[in-house]
Structure 1
Amino acid sequence: MQIAANIMVILVALEHFFILWLEMFNADSDMAAQAFGVPRKLLQMPEVQTLFKNQGLYNGFLAVGLIFAIWVVPAAAAGGVTMFFLACILVAAVYGSATASKQIIVVQGLPALIAFILVYLA
């Protein structure tokens, strides 16, 4: 069970590293316009670029937190720290789904929920 939990946590971290890349370094691309459901012209505005870079940075912190939790934190505390970062992702997914796009709950929330359950059971 621990191996499955760690694999799922790593997948969630990789997803958030991808989001970091998309928001910080590729936010004005066609891929980003499609992913976020907004016109590319909007994504090219400097103010929007700044907002996306900030969001990307937060996603990067979540990803690093998950990696830190499973590889650096002592085993006795790793589960709790991992669940904390997964809970942060779940809260962000619920909020994002309520305010931005219903897809967020599935794309970001569901993997985090599965990982959370696996970590809890491990």
Structure 2
Amino acid sequence: MQIAATIMACLVALEHFFILWLEMFNADSEMASQAFGVDRNLLGVPAVQTLLKNQGLYNGFLAVGIIFSLFVVPVAASAGVTMFFLACIIIAAIFGSVTASKSILVIQGLPALIAFILAYLA
């Protein structure tokens, strides 16, 4: 169970590193336009770029937190710290599904919830 929890948490971290890349370095692309359901012209507006870069940075911090919790934090505290970062993602996904797009709950929230449950059971 521990191996499954670690693998799933790593997948969640990878997803959030991808979101970091998309929001910080590729925010005005066609891929970002499709992912966010926003016109590409809007994504080119400097103020929108700034907001997306800020969001991307937060997603990066969540990803780094998960990796840190899995591979740096002492074993006795690792599961708790991992579950904390996963819970942050779950809460953000719930908020995002209410305020932005229902798909956020499935795309970001569901993998984090699965990883959280596996970490809890491990």
TM-score range, shorter chain: over 0.9
Query: TM-score, normalized by length of structure 2?
Result: 1.00
Other structure's SS at 2:57 match? helix
Distance between the aligned counterparts of 2:56 and 2:38, measured in 1? 17
Deviations 1:20-70 (A, max 9, x none): 000000000000000000000000000000000000000000000000000
- Could you list the structure 1 runs, at least 4 aligned residues long, displaced by more than 4 angstroms after superposition: none
Distance between the aligned counterparts of 1:38 and 1:21, measured in 2? 17
Does residue 78 (structure 1) correspond to residue 83 (structure 2)? The answer is: no
Does residue 92 (structure 1) correspond to residue 61 (structure 2)? The answer is: no
- The CA RMSD over aligned residues, in Å, is 0.2
AA partner of residue 93 (structure 1): A
Deviations 1:53-98 (A, max 9, x none): 0000000000000000000000000000000000000000000000
Other structure's SS at 2:95 match? helix
* Structure 2 gaps, min length 5: none
AA partner of residue 2 (structure 1): Q
Distance between the aligned counterparts of 1:89 and 1:104, measured in 2? 10
Q: Give the equivalent residue in structure 2 for 1:105.
A: 105
* Structure 1 gaps, min length 5: none
